[in-house]
C-alpha cells in the first residue's frame, strides 16, 4: 500500500463509493465514450482532488451523500483537462501508460473530454446546490484561462516567476480550491470556514504543481509514470528553469533561454545547469511555503481527526515521488 493510500485509509470505503459513482456516470450508449472513459479513469491516478471533497465535507460535519457525486464531478473535470492537455502538449505517456490521444487519436480525446465536462455539469444539476454550481462554473472558466495563459508562456524565457505562479494558481490550484470549498458548502459551513477551506485547497494545489516542476528534473521516470523533461521539450518555463535564468552563470542562462525558446534543449545539460544553482531547493522552499499556508488556513476549523488528516495530506505533497 502506498503512503497516500495509507493516509487516506479512513475514507477508503467512501473512495470506493466514489469509484462506483464514476463508473455509473460514465455509462453511455456511445461505445467510444465508454472505452476512452474507462481507459482514463481506470488508469490509476492519485484521486487527491475527490478525496479533498470527501475530507472537507467530513471536517465540517456533512452527513448526506451528495459529496460522493461531487467528488466524482471533480474527477470528471480533472480527467477532461488531462485529455485536452495531452492533445495540446502532444504527450504520449501518462501514469505509466500511453495517453488517450496516443491510443485513440486527438479528435476522440478532445470530444470525450468535452463529454466529461458536460456530464459533470449534468451531475451538478442533480446535486441542486446553486452555490456549488457557482463555484464549479467559475473554476472551469479559470482553469481554461490558465490553459490559455500557459500556452502564451510557451517558448517565452522572459516569463516572470509571478506570471508563472499565476498559471499554476489558475490551471492547477483552482480545482483543488473548488474541491475543498465544495465540501464546506455541502456541509453548510459558515462563509469564514468556506474561505478557509478554499485557501487550504488553493495553497495545497500550488504546492502540488511546484513539486511536479521539481520532479520533472529530479524524478525517476518509472516512478513518475511519464518521461522526465516533458516540460522542457514543450518549451514550458517552469520554476526551476526560471530560477536558473535568475541566478545562473551567463553560459547557463544562455543555454536555458535557448532551450525554452526552441523546446529542444539537451535535458542532461539543462539538468546539470539546474544542479549548479539552487533551483531545485528554491522550488522546494516555494512548495513548503505553500504547504505551510495551507495548514495555517485550517486553524479556524474545529479540531478533529479529519482536520488532522487534511493537514497530513498537505504535508504529504512535499514527500511524494510521483
Query: pLDDT-based confidence at 110, cuts 50/70/90?
Result: confident
Give me the helices (H) in 173-278, please: 174-186, 191-218, 221-224, 230-233, 239-247, 250-262, 267-275
pLDDT for residue 58:
97
* Segment holding 93, helix H or strand E: strand 93-94
pLDDT for residue 224:
45
CB 151 within 8 A of CB 88: yes
pLDDT in tens, 81-109: 988 877 776 676 665 677 777 777 788 88
Compute the distance between CA of residue 201 and CA of residue 199 in angstroms, rounded to an integer. Answer: 5
Say if residue 112's pLDDT is above 90. no
- Contacts of residue 94, defined as CB under 8 A and 6 or more positions apart, other chains included, come to 43, 82, 86, 225, 226
**Mean per-residue pLDDT, 229-248:** 90
Give CA angle at 182 (177, 188), nearest 5°.
Answer: 130
Instruction: Count the Cβ atoms, other than its own, within 10 Å of residue 35.
Output: 16
Compute the distance between CA of residue 21 and CA of residue 321 in angstroms, rounded to an integer. Answer: 29
Say if residue 66's pLDDT is above 50. yes
Among 1.20.140.10, 3.30.365.10, 1.10.10.10, 1.10.600.10, what is the CATH number of 3-316?
Answer: 1.10.600.10
**Mean per-residue pLDDT, 77-81:** 91
pLDDT for residue 168:
97
Nearest C-alpha neighbor of 42 from the set 104, 102, 95: 95
- Contacts of residue 321, defined as CB under 8 A and 6 or more positions apart, other chains included, come to 215, 219, 220, 223, 224
pLDDT above 70 as % of the chain: 93
Query: pLDDT-based confidence at 52, cuts 50/70/90?
Result: very high
Burial of 23 (0-12, 13-18, 19+ CB in 10 A): middle
Burial of 203 (0-12, 13-18, 19+ CB in 10 A): buried
pLDDT above 90 as % of the chain: 68
**Mean per-residue pLDDT, 34-39:** 80
List phi, psi (to 5°) of 111.
-70, -40
Query: pLDDT-based confidence at 221, cuts 50/70/90?
Result: low
**Mean per-residue pLDDT, 236-250:** 95
Residue bearing the bigger pLDDT, 81 or 218: 81
Q: Strand pairing partners for 93? A: 98
CB 262 within 8 A of CB 235: yes
Provide the grid cell at 251. Answer: 553560459
3-state secondary structure of 58: helix
pLDDT in tens, 193-216: 999 999 999 999 999 999 999 998
Residue bearing the bigger pLDDT, 228 or 131: 131
pLDDT for residue 154:
92
Amino acid at each position: 500500500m502506498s503512503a497516500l493510500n495509507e493516509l487516506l485509509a479512513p475514507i477508503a470505503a467512501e473512495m470506493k463509493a466514489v469509484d462506483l459513482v464514476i463508473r455509473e456516470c460514465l455509462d453511455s450508449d456511445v461505445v467510444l465514450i465508454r472505452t476512452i472513459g474507462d481507459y482514463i479513469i481506470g488508469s490509476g491516478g492519485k484521486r487527491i482532488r475527490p478525496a479533498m471533497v470527501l475530507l472537507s465535507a467530513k471536517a465540517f460535519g456533512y452527513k448526506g451523500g451528495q459529496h460522493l457525486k461531487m467528488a466524482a464531478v471533480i474527477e470528471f473535470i480533472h480527467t477532461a483537462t488531462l485529455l485536452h492537455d495531452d492533445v495540446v502538449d502532444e504527450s504520449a505517456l501518462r501514469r505509466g501508460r500511453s495517453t488517450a490521444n496516443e491510443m485513440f487519436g486527438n479528435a476522440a480525446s478532445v470530444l470525450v473530454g468535452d463529454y466529461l465536462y458536460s456530464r459533470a455539469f449534468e451531475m451538478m444539476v442533480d446535486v441542486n446546490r446553486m452555490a456549488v454550481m457557482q463555484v464549479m462554473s467559475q473554476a472551469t472558466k479559470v482553469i481554461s484561462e490558465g490553459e490559455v495563459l500557459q500556452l502564451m508562456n510557451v517558448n517565452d524565457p522572459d516569463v516572470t516567476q509571478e506570471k508563472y505562479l499565476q498559471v499554476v494558481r489558475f490551471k492547477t490550484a483552482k480545482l483543488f480550491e473548488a474541491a475543498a470549498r465544495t465540501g464546506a458548502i455541502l456541509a453548510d459551513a459558515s462563509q469564514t470556514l468556506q474561505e478557509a477551506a478554499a485557501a487550504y485547497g488553493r495553497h495545497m494545489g500550488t504546492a502540488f504543481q511546484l513539486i511536479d516542476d521539481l520532479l520533472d528534473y529530479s524524478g525517476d521516470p518509472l516512478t513518475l509514470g511519464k518521461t522526465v523533461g516533458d516540460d522542457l521539450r514543450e518549451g514550458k518555463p517552469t520554476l526551476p528553469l526560471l530560477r536558473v535564468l535568475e541566478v545562473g552563470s551567463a553560459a547557463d542562462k544562455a543555454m536555458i533561454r535557448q532551450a525554452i525558446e526552441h523546446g529542444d534543449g539537451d535535458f542532461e545539460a539543462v539538468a546539470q545547469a539546474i544542479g549548479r544553482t539552487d533551483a531545485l531547493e528554491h522550488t522546494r522552499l516555494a512548495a513548503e511555503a505553500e504547504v505551510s499556508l495551507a495548514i495555517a488556513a485550517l486553524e479556524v476549523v474545529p479540531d478533529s481527526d479529519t482536520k488532522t488528516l487534511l493537514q497530513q495530506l498537505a504535508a504529504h505533497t512535499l514527500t511524494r515521488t510521483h
